[in-house]
Amino acid sequence: MPISPNFKSIYEQEFELSFLNCYPNGLLKYTDLCNFIQIVAGNHADLGGISYSDMQTENQAWVISKMRLEVIKLPKWRDKVVVKTWIKTLENSRSIRCIEFYLNGEKIIGCETFWVVINTKTRKPDLLALPHDHFEKYEKNATEKSTNKIDIDLDLNILGNKKVLFSDLDVVNHANNVKYLEWCLDLENPKNLLRSKVKAFDMNFIRELNLNDEAQISNTSSENESVFTISKENKIAYALKVEWK
């Protein structure tokens, strides 16, 4: 697709939260929060001519590698939130994209994401083949801390197993990144989520999981943080660190 005449380097989109987006206490689900991030990043890429469809002309796609999400407070059912996004860096096969959520003009959530271009045939990193100089890059942070590598050299306890189902797949034909978070949080104490105790998430996406893959979910927790891993055949595919308030 050509670059849209409505394209701007800083993109904004408003969402009104429905009951489908919320936990039983009426607050936004963390998984739906991450879905909004995917939607806004995708729509911005569409307008700027570097969407999945555009990149498929070169057998390429964006995949997320790391994410840092900092939560000041969660919006609730019927709230209207404005989500803003911009690109901080984009060179070769890598990009850092920032996202912020606002409620009534107040920033309530910040997110930094680290993306990599892959070749969808070889499934390996690739140099971005499409022009992107029209995206102005902003040295503006959305989070206090940047994305980082999670320490997984820990004594972890196995919580259970997960088989990748058809409903877990996305357009890139692998388990969507939000599914990993969903599987981990489903094994967390619901009281911690309903009481909005999450201060921040760090996520590392290390390997793909595909249809019918069998994965193992492990965890270790302390008063201040929890670490989850999802692995296949003893190789880590995903790591999640939750910082608790």
pLDDT at 1: 65
pTM above 0.85, yes or no: yes
| pLDDT tens track for 142-155 | 999 999 999 998 88
Contacts of 215 (CB under 8 A, 6+ apart): 161, 162, 163, 164, 183, 209, 230, 231, 232, 237
Calpha distance 228→6 (Å, rounded): 41
Strand partners, 231: 216, 236
Q: Indicate if the alpha-carbon torsion angle 131, 137, 142, 144 is positive or negative.
A: positive
Query: Which stretches of 120-234 are assigned E, i.e. beta strand?
Result: 157-163, 198-205, 214-221, 225-232
| Pair of tokens at residue 47 | 């307008």
Calpha distance 139→142 (Å, rounded): 10
| pLDDT tens track for 152-194 | 988 899 999 999 999 999 988 899 999 999 999 999 999 999 9
- Amino acid present at 148: N
Lowest mean pLDDT across 81-85, 111-115, 122-126, 231-235:
122-126
Asked if residues 37 and 15 have their Cβ atoms less than 8 Å apart, the reply is no
Confidence of residue 2 (pLDDT cuts 50, 70, 90): confident
pLDDT at 65: 95
Backbone angles phi, psi at 54, to 5 degrees: -60, -45
Strand partners, 172: none
Q: Which domains are present in the chain?
A: 1-144 (3.10.129.10), 149-245 (3.10.129.10)
Strand partners, 161: 216
| Pair of tokens at residue 200 | 């921040």
CB atoms within 10 A of CB 62: 22
